[in-house]
Amino acid sequence: MERILLQLQYNGANFQGFQIQNEGRTVQYELERILKRMHKQFVRIHPSSRTDKGVHARMQYVHFDTPLSIPESKWQHAFNSALPDDIYITQVTKISEHFHSRYDCIGKAYRYKVYVAEHRNVMHSGQITHIKTKLDVKTMNSAAQHFLGTHDFTSFCSAKTEIENKERTLYRFEVTETAEGYDFYVIGSGFLYNMVRIMVQYLIDVGTGQKDGDSIPAIIQAQDRTKAGKTAPAEGLYLEKIYLDTETLKQDIPQGTAIIFKNQKHKMNGEQL
Protein backbone atom coordinates (compact mmCIF):
# COMPACT_ATOMS: atom_id res chain seq x y z
CA MET A 1 0.00 0.00 0.00
CA GLU A 2 1.12 3.55 -0.74
CA ARG A 3 -0.05 6.72 0.99
CA ILE A 4 -0.75 9.59 -1.40
CA LEU A 5 -0.94 13.26 -0.41
CA LEU A 6 -2.94 15.62 -2.61
CA GLN A 7 -2.60 19.38 -2.48
CA LEU A 8 -5.67 21.03 -4.00
CA GLN A 9 -7.62 24.21 -4.54
CA TYR A 10 -11.35 24.72 -4.89
CA ASN A 11 -13.93 27.40 -5.42
CA GLY A 12 -16.45 26.69 -2.68
CA ALA A 13 -19.31 28.81 -4.06
CA ASN A 14 -21.27 25.85 -5.39
CA PHE A 15 -20.38 23.29 -2.74
CA GLN A 16 -22.25 22.39 0.44
CA GLY A 17 -18.86 22.26 2.13
CA PHE A 18 -15.92 19.88 2.03
CA GLN A 19 -17.45 17.00 3.95
CA ILE A 20 -20.01 14.68 2.38
CA GLN A 21 -23.61 15.70 3.14
CA ASN A 22 -26.94 13.97 2.65
CA GLU A 23 -27.72 16.35 -0.20
CA GLY A 24 -25.77 18.65 -2.48
CA ARG A 25 -22.28 18.75 -3.98
CA THR A 26 -19.23 18.38 -1.74
CA VAL A 27 -15.50 18.37 -2.41
CA GLN A 28 -15.05 15.06 -0.58
CA TYR A 29 -17.64 13.37 -2.78
CA GLU A 30 -15.97 14.55 -5.99
CA LEU A 31 -12.57 13.20 -4.91
CA GLU A 32 -13.87 9.89 -3.57
CA ARG A 33 -16.00 9.40 -6.68
CA ILE A 34 -12.86 9.35 -8.81
CA LEU A 35 -11.00 7.06 -6.40
CA LYS A 36 -13.91 4.61 -6.38
CA ARG A 37 -13.91 4.49 -10.17
CA MET A 38 -10.17 3.83 -10.25
CA HIS A 39 -10.13 1.21 -7.47
CA LYS A 40 -13.51 -0.44 -8.17
CA GLN A 41 -14.23 0.01 -4.47
CA PHE A 42 -14.66 2.80 -1.93
CA VAL A 43 -11.50 4.63 -0.80
CA ARG A 44 -11.69 7.12 2.09
CA ILE A 45 -9.80 10.43 1.95
CA HIS A 46 -8.58 12.29 5.02
CA PRO A 47 -8.45 16.13 4.81
CA SER A 48 -6.41 18.63 6.79
CA SER A 49 -9.48 20.84 7.14
CA ARG A 50 -13.23 20.54 6.60
CA THR A 51 -14.38 23.85 5.17
CA ASP A 52 -18.00 24.95 5.45
CA LYS A 53 -20.58 25.62 2.75
CA GLY A 54 -19.46 28.42 0.41
CA VAL A 55 -15.90 28.61 1.80
CA HIS A 56 -13.00 28.45 -0.67
CA ALA A 57 -9.54 26.89 -0.41
CA ARG A 58 -6.35 28.12 -2.02
CA MET A 59 -4.47 25.31 -0.29
CA GLN A 60 -5.97 22.14 1.14
CA TYR A 61 -4.47 18.70 1.72
CA VAL A 62 -5.99 15.23 1.71
CA HIS A 63 -4.36 11.83 1.90
CA PHE A 64 -5.51 8.33 1.03
CA ASP A 65 -4.07 4.81 0.90
CA THR A 66 -3.94 2.84 -2.31
CA PRO A 67 -2.68 -0.55 -3.57
CA LEU A 68 -2.14 1.04 -6.99
CA SER A 69 1.42 1.90 -7.99
CA ILE A 70 1.04 5.00 -10.15
CA PRO A 71 3.56 7.85 -10.67
CA GLU A 72 2.67 11.12 -8.97
CA SER A 73 2.23 12.94 -12.29
CA LYS A 74 -0.22 10.27 -13.44
CA TRP A 75 -2.25 10.66 -10.26
CA GLN A 76 -2.49 14.38 -10.86
CA HIS A 77 -3.61 13.87 -14.44
CA ALA A 78 -6.14 11.21 -13.44
CA PHE A 79 -7.78 13.55 -10.96
CA ASN A 80 -7.68 16.77 -12.96
CA SER A 81 -9.02 15.16 -16.12
CA ALA A 82 -12.09 13.95 -14.21
CA LEU A 83 -12.68 16.68 -11.64
CA PRO A 84 -15.16 19.54 -12.22
CA ASP A 85 -13.81 22.99 -13.08
CA ASP A 86 -14.07 24.26 -9.49
CA ILE A 87 -11.54 21.77 -8.04
CA TYR A 88 -7.91 21.37 -9.11
CA ILE A 89 -5.09 19.16 -7.82
CA THR A 90 -1.96 21.31 -7.63
CA GLN A 91 0.49 18.72 -6.33
CA VAL A 92 0.73 14.98 -5.62
CA THR A 93 3.30 13.46 -3.24
CA LYS A 94 3.93 9.92 -2.06
CA ILE A 95 4.36 10.08 1.69
CA SER A 96 5.15 7.94 4.73
CA GLU A 97 2.43 5.63 6.00
CA HIS A 98 2.82 7.38 9.37
CA PHE A 99 1.81 10.78 7.98
CA HIS A 100 -1.74 12.01 8.54
CA SER A 101 -3.18 15.12 6.84
CA ARG A 102 -5.19 16.12 9.89
CA TYR A 103 -2.96 15.13 12.79
CA ASP A 104 0.28 16.36 11.20
CA CYS A 105 -1.21 19.76 10.43
CA ILE A 106 0.35 22.22 12.88
CA GLY A 107 -1.33 25.40 11.69
CA LYS A 108 -3.71 27.03 9.23
CA ALA A 109 -4.04 30.44 7.64
CA TYR A 110 -7.33 31.99 6.56
CA ARG A 111 -8.00 35.10 4.52
CA TYR A 112 -11.34 36.92 4.54
CA LYS A 113 -12.00 39.34 1.67
CA VAL A 114 -14.48 42.23 1.59
CA TYR A 115 -15.11 44.99 -0.93
CA VAL A 116 -16.64 48.40 -0.31
CA ALA A 117 -19.27 49.74 -2.70
CA GLU A 118 -22.61 51.47 -2.55
CA HIS A 119 -24.13 48.70 -4.65
CA ARG A 120 -23.43 44.98 -4.78
CA ASN A 121 -21.22 43.82 -7.64
CA VAL A 122 -22.66 40.60 -9.06
CA MET A 123 -19.24 39.68 -10.46
CA HIS A 124 -18.04 39.28 -6.88
CA SER A 125 -21.00 37.13 -5.88
CA GLY A 126 -19.83 34.04 -4.01
CA GLN A 127 -16.23 35.28 -3.97
CA ILE A 128 -15.96 38.44 -1.86
CA THR A 129 -18.26 39.86 0.81
CA HIS A 130 -19.92 43.20 0.14
CA ILE A 131 -20.01 46.04 2.68
CA LYS A 132 -21.14 49.62 2.10
CA THR A 133 -19.03 51.47 4.65
CA LYS A 134 -15.31 52.17 4.82
CA LEU A 135 -13.57 50.76 7.89
CA ASP A 136 -10.97 52.08 10.32
CA VAL A 137 -7.99 49.78 9.64
CA LYS A 138 -5.90 51.04 12.56
CA THR A 139 -8.68 50.42 15.08
CA MET A 140 -9.37 46.95 13.66
CA ASN A 141 -5.70 45.97 13.80
CA SER A 142 -5.47 47.13 17.37
CA ALA A 143 -8.54 45.08 18.26
CA ALA A 144 -7.28 42.00 16.41
CA GLN A 145 -4.26 41.76 18.72
CA HIS A 146 -6.59 40.81 21.58
CA PHE A 147 -7.26 37.51 19.81
CA LEU A 148 -3.58 36.51 19.78
CA GLY A 149 -2.35 33.84 22.13
CA THR A 150 -4.05 30.78 23.58
CA HIS A 151 -7.68 31.18 24.60
CA ASP A 152 -10.92 29.29 24.96
CA PHE A 153 -12.83 30.61 21.93
CA THR A 154 -16.30 29.46 22.99
CA SER A 155 -17.59 33.03 22.56
CA PHE A 156 -16.22 33.17 19.01
CA CYS A 157 -17.41 29.86 17.57
CA SER A 158 -20.77 28.48 16.54
CA ALA A 159 -23.06 27.31 19.33
CA LYS A 160 -23.37 24.12 17.24
CA THR A 161 -19.67 23.32 17.73
CA GLU A 162 -19.49 19.76 19.06
CA ILE A 163 -15.80 19.74 20.03
CA GLU A 164 -15.43 19.95 23.82
CA ASN A 165 -11.95 21.50 23.85
CA LYS A 166 -12.41 24.99 22.43
CA GLU A 167 -8.91 26.20 23.25
CA ARG A 168 -6.96 27.43 20.23
CA THR A 169 -3.84 29.54 19.68
CA LEU A 170 -3.65 32.46 17.24
CA TYR A 171 -0.20 33.57 16.06
CA ARG A 172 -1.00 36.44 13.73
CA PHE A 173 -4.06 38.53 12.89
CA GLU A 174 -3.96 41.59 10.67
CA VAL A 175 -6.22 43.71 8.51
CA THR A 176 -4.92 45.33 5.33
CA GLU A 177 -6.54 47.72 2.90
CA THR A 178 -6.84 46.48 -0.69
CA ALA A 179 -7.76 48.16 -3.97
CA GLU A 180 -11.42 47.30 -3.46
CA GLY A 181 -11.76 46.91 0.28
CA TYR A 182 -10.04 44.93 3.03
CA ASP A 183 -8.36 41.59 3.71
CA PHE A 184 -8.43 39.96 7.14
CA TYR A 185 -5.55 37.49 7.52
CA VAL A 186 -5.22 35.13 10.48
CA ILE A 187 -2.85 32.27 11.30
CA GLY A 188 -3.51 29.86 14.15
CA SER A 189 -2.95 26.37 15.47
CA GLY A 190 -6.49 25.53 14.38
CA PHE A 191 -9.96 27.03 14.18
CA LEU A 192 -13.39 26.12 15.48
CA TYR A 193 -16.64 26.02 13.51
CA ASN A 194 -17.39 29.55 12.20
CA MET A 195 -14.60 30.98 14.38
CA VAL A 196 -12.88 33.06 11.67
CA ARG A 197 -16.16 34.44 10.36
CA ILE A 198 -17.35 35.48 13.83
CA MET A 199 -14.03 37.19 14.64
CA VAL A 200 -14.03 38.98 11.28
CA GLN A 201 -17.58 40.24 11.73
CA TYR A 202 -16.68 41.55 15.17
CA LEU A 203 -13.69 43.39 13.69
CA ILE A 204 -15.85 44.83 10.91
CA ASP A 205 -18.21 46.14 13.58
CA VAL A 206 -15.19 47.62 15.37
CA GLY A 207 -14.13 49.23 12.10
CA THR A 208 -17.50 50.94 11.73
CA GLY A 209 -17.56 52.06 15.36
CA GLN A 210 -20.42 49.78 16.34
CA LYS A 211 -18.32 47.68 18.71
CA ASP A 212 -15.40 48.27 21.06
CA GLY A 213 -12.23 46.32 20.31
CA ASP A 214 -11.09 46.55 23.91
CA SER A 215 -14.11 44.45 24.93
CA ILE A 216 -12.67 41.36 23.21
CA PRO A 217 -10.76 40.01 26.26
CA ALA A 218 -13.92 40.18 28.39
CA ILE A 219 -15.98 38.50 25.67
CA ILE A 220 -13.41 35.69 25.38
CA GLN A 221 -13.43 35.33 29.16
CA ALA A 222 -17.24 35.12 29.26
CA GLN A 223 -17.28 31.96 27.09
CA ASP A 224 -20.71 33.01 25.85
CA ARG A 225 -21.50 32.92 22.13
CA THR A 226 -24.21 35.57 22.45
CA LYS A 227 -21.63 38.18 23.51
CA ALA A 228 -19.70 38.19 20.20
CA GLY A 229 -22.43 39.18 17.76
CA LYS A 230 -23.14 38.04 14.23
CA THR A 231 -21.26 35.77 11.81
CA ALA A 232 -19.80 37.12 8.56
CA PRO A 233 -21.01 35.44 5.32
CA ALA A 234 -19.11 32.38 4.08
CA GLU A 235 -18.40 33.73 0.59
CA GLY A 236 -15.46 35.95 1.57
CA LEU A 237 -13.54 33.21 3.41
CA TYR A 238 -10.52 31.40 1.97
CA LEU A 239 -8.46 28.62 3.49
CA GLU A 240 -5.19 30.20 2.47
CA LYS A 241 -2.52 27.83 3.71
CA ILE A 242 -1.97 24.57 5.59
CA TYR A 243 1.21 24.23 7.63
CA LEU A 244 2.76 20.77 7.82
CA ASP A 245 6.17 21.77 9.22
CA THR A 246 7.49 24.30 11.71
CA GLU A 247 9.98 25.93 9.32
CA THR A 248 7.24 27.06 6.97
CA LEU A 249 5.02 28.22 9.82
CA LYS A 250 7.70 30.24 11.58
CA GLN A 251 8.39 32.16 8.35
CA ASP A 252 4.83 33.51 8.43
CA ILE A 253 4.47 34.46 12.10
CA PRO A 254 6.32 36.98 14.31
CA GLN A 255 9.84 35.95 15.23
CA GLY A 256 10.10 34.20 18.58
CA THR A 257 6.45 33.21 18.71
CA ALA A 258 5.84 29.94 20.56
CA ILE A 259 4.36 27.28 18.28
CA ILE A 260 1.76 25.12 19.95
CA PHE A 261 1.91 21.39 19.29
CA LYS A 262 -0.47 18.90 20.82
CA ASN A 263 -0.29 19.72 24.54
CA GLN A 264 3.21 21.21 24.20
CA LYS A 265 4.79 24.60 23.55
CA HIS A 266 8.04 25.01 21.65
CA LYS A 267 10.14 28.11 21.11
CA MET A 268 11.52 28.74 17.67
CA ASN A 269 14.98 27.64 18.79
CA GLY A 270 13.55 24.28 19.81
CA GLU A 271 13.62 25.01 23.54
CA GLN A 272 10.59 23.47 25.21
CA LEU A 273 8.60 25.66 27.60
Q: At residue 149, what are phi and psi to the nearest 5 degrees? A: 100, -170
Rounded to an integer, the average pLDDT of 159-169 is 90
How high is the pLDDT of residue 271?
Answer: 33
How high is the pLDDT of residue 262?
Answer: 62
Rounded to an integer, the average pLDDT of 177-192 is 97
- Inform me whether the pLDDT recorded for 266 exceeds 60: no
* pLDDT tens digits, one per residue of 73-109: 999 999 999 999 999 999 999 999 999 999 999 999 9
One domain for residues 12 and 51: yes
Domain of 8, in residue numbers? 2-95
* pTM, two decimal places: 0.93
**Band of residue 161 on the pLDDT scale cut at 50, 70, 90:** confident
**Band of residue 260 on the pLDDT scale cut at 50, 70, 90:** confident
Rounded to an integer, the average pLDDT of 112-132 is 97
Helical ranges in 60-136 per DSSP H: 72-80
One domain for residues 124 and 226: yes
The answer to whether residue 268 is domain-embedded is no
The answer to whether residue 173 is domain-embedded is yes
The answer to whether residue 17 is domain-embedded is yes
- Asked which of 25-34, 40-49, 203-212, 260-269 is least confident by mean pLDDT, the reply is 260-269
Rounded to an integer, the average pLDDT of 235-241 is 97
3-state secondary structure of 130: strand
Which of 72, 95, 118 finishes a domain? 95
How high is the pLDDT of residue 261?
Answer: 82
Number of domains in the chain: 2
For residue 149, CA distances in Å to 32, 153, 205, 252 come to 37, 11, 22, 15
Rounded to an integer, the average pLDDT of 8-12 is 98
Name beta bridge partners: 87: 10
Q: Which DSSP letter does residue 175 get?
A: E
- Inform me whether the pLDDT recorded for 141 exceeds 50: yes
The answer to whether residue 263 is domain-embedded is no
For residue 110, CA distances in Å to 23, 26, 51, 88, 149 come to 27, 20, 11, 19, 16
- Inform me whether the pLDDT recorded for 264 exceeds 50: no
Question: Mean pLDDT of all residues in the chain?
Answer: 94
One domain for residues 32 and 139: no
Q: What percent of the chain has pLDDT over 90?
A: 91
Which of 61, 95, 129 finishes a domain? 95
Helical ranges in 66-186 per DSSP H: 72-80, 137-144
| CA end-to-end span of the chain | 39
The rounded distance, in Å, linking the Cα atoms of 48 and 185 is 19
Rounded to an integer, the average pLDDT of 247-257 is 94
How high is the pLDDT of residue 269?
Answer: 35
How high is the pLDDT of residue 158?
Answer: 94
How high is the pLDDT of residue 160?
Answer: 86
Residue 264: Cβ-neighbour burial (10 angstroms; 0-12, 13-18, 19+): exposed
| CATH number of domain containing 17 | 3.30.70.580
How high is the pLDDT of residue 263?
Answer: 45
Which of 34, 63, 95 finishes a domain? 95
What are the catalytic residues? 52
One domain for residues 205 and 166: yes
Q: Which residues line the annotated binding site for substrate?
A: 110
Q: Which residues line the annotated binding site?
A: 110
How high is the pLDDT of residue 163?
Answer: 87
- DSSP class per residue in 255-270: TTPPEEETTEEE-TTS
One domain for residues 137 and 201: yes
Write the CB contacts of 55 (distance below 8 Å, at least 6 apart in sequence).
12, 17, 234, 237, 238, 239
How high is the pLDDT of residue 272?
Answer: 28
